[in-house]
Structure 1
Amino acid sequence: MNSKKEKIISHCEHSINWVNNLENLSENQWRTPIAEGKWTIAEVVGHLIPWDKYFIERIPYLINESEMSPSPNIEEVNENASANSRRRSKEEIIKEFIEVRENLISKISELDDDLWEKEFSIGNKTLSLYTDFSRLVEHDELHFTQINQLLNE
């Protein structure tokens, strides 16, 4: 397996285990903001789900180098996910995160190894699968670090 592909899959598998361990949090911890004026752990985890779905939808456009619809409005996606997470249980959010992330792993696994070395041009942007999925990894790691810092206080 291509090492770049393997690195992304490994991160995604680790993220499933990491989020699954949040099941052990009390309801109070789950609903605690990661910092003053910031989202709760529930909202942070819940907002990862629509971004995973976005990456899943994006894959065919990348590998076919076809124009996709404009990127969603980040603030709108995040606000909708935040509001949705406030209404849902910890179990529902974690379950959906795992299901969607497993789907993402499946889609990534199906990609040919040689695609990970190829650069794609979409519009005026040139990128690779690895650089694109590295954004997802960086986004996850930022939020996992924030949650870890809160839980270790």
Structure 2
Amino acid sequence: MLKNKENLLIYFENSIDRVKRLTAITEEQWRTPIAEGKWSIAEIVGHLIPWDRYITEQRLPFLLRDKDLPNSPDVNQLNQQAATLSRMKTKGEIIEEFIANRRKLIIAINNIPVEIWEKEFMIGSSTLTLYNYLLGIIEHDEHHFEQIQSALKVSS
């Protein structure tokens, strides 16, 4: 199980580097929707921030204390709020905030005792381990990082 934890931590560290590299793109690339009816790169990166915060503050602490998980936020509402905030912030502010929150997540994951990794818990009607839960977060990240990469290939 330690190898899995290590791999997750490496992924999350690498995600910081991926977002840091976005400082090099133009403001137009940063602010232009990636496709008609889709978010911009700013909004995509910006919406990852509250989810990292949520996992760090509202998921992991409850799993560590073996407490019932609080209800999940309304996904659409949280995403919309994050997108709106991202339109008002500079590229530097969004990237810095992403990095700060992702680092907190990395620290929180790193501090999780081994026995918690194998313990099953319920989210809604799904039974998961922490590893499987975090793999789902990575899949979500990857979906968005692929969107960003595709958009940047089209715009260059």
- TM-score w.r.t. length of structure 1: 0.94
Structure 2 counterparts to residues 131-142 of structure 1, below 5 A = 131-142=132-143
Amino acid at match of 2:25: L
Identical positions, percent: 48
Misfit runs of 4+, over 3 Å: 121-125
Structure 2 counterparts to residues 1-150 of structure 1, below 5 A = 2-57=2-57, 58-121=59-122, 124-150=125-151
> What is the alpha-carbon root mean square deviation over aligned residues?
1.5
Higher relative contact order (CA 8 A, sep 6+): 1
Amino acid at match of 1:71: S
Question: What SS does structure 2 have at the residue aligned with 1:152?
Answer: helix
Range 109-118 or range 85-94, more displaced = 109-118
Question: What SS does structure 2 have at the residue aligned with 1:127?
Answer: strand
How far the C-alpha of 1:122 sits from its partner, in A, is 5.7
Distance in 2 (alpha carbons) for counterparts of 1:116 and 1:110 = 11
Distance change (3 Å), C-alpha of 1:85 and 1:122 = closer
Q: Which runs of 5 or more structure 1 residues have no equivalent in the other structure?
A: none
- TM-score w.r.t. length of structure 2: 0.92
Q: Which runs of 5 or more structure 2 residues have no equivalent in the other structure?
A: none
Range 85-94 or range 27-36, more displaced = 27-36
